[in-house]
Each structure stands twice: as structure tokens, then as C-alpha cells.
Amino acid sequence: MIGAAPEVKGVAGDANCDGKVSIADSTAILQHLGNQDKYGLSAEGLKNADVDGNDGVSTNDALVIQMVDSKLLTVEQLPLKK
Ligand SMILES: [Ca+2]
Ligand SMILES: [Ca+2]
């Protein structure tokens, strides 16, 4: 993987667009929902954040990302089907 840049664009679950899926993405979604003016996600982040199979970003999307962080789901399973 020498010289290979991580794929940052369009990673399912990567709400904060740092190229990986972690608990920080779950937190970013919750902050977005709680205070959109201050902590709003980018357009790309919103697209990445919508992983639970239901349209729109909700606390359930944050929950799905927590499940990935807890190894109950894998990134490869995202986004979940309806
Ligand atoms: Ca991330
Ligand atoms: Ca959703």
C-alpha cells in the first residue's frame, strides 16, 4: 500500500469525513442532530452518515455506527438495507 492514499470520498458511516468509521462519527451525527447550526455535517458527511436504510440522518444512524465501533457490524455491511 506504499503511496496509496486512503479513499476518503463516500465512505459509508464516515460522517466527519476523516476517511474512517469510528465512534467519532456517531458523536458527529448526534451533535448534528442536537445543534445543527454549530455542529452541522457537510453535504458529503450527511450522505455518508445515512447508513441505517431509512432516508435522512437520525439517531438510529448514529446507533448503527456505534454497532460498527462495537464490532457488531462491519463497515462492509454499510449502508444497511431497508
Ligand atoms: Ca470518520
Ligand atoms: Ca438514516
Query: Structural domain tally of the chain?
Result: 1
What distance in angstroms lies between residue 2's CA and the mean position of ligand 1's atoms? 22
Residue with the three cell numbers 462491519: 74
pLDDT tens per residue across all 82 residues of the chain: 567 655 445 799 999 999 999 999 999 999 999 999 999 999 999 999 999 999 999 999 999 999 999 999 999 999 999 7
> What ligand has the least distance to the C-alpha of 54?
2
pLDDT at 4: 65
Quote the CA–CA distance of 26 and 3 in Å, as a whole number.
29
Q: What is the pTM of this model?
A: 0.86
> What ligand has the least distance to the C-alpha of 75?
1
- Whether 4 maps to a domain, the answer reads no
- Whether 79 maps to a domain, the answer reads no
- Whether 65 maps to a domain, the answer reads yes
- Whether 39 maps to a domain, the answer reads yes
> What ligand has the least distance to the C-alpha of 14?
1
Residue with the three cell numbers 440522518: 57
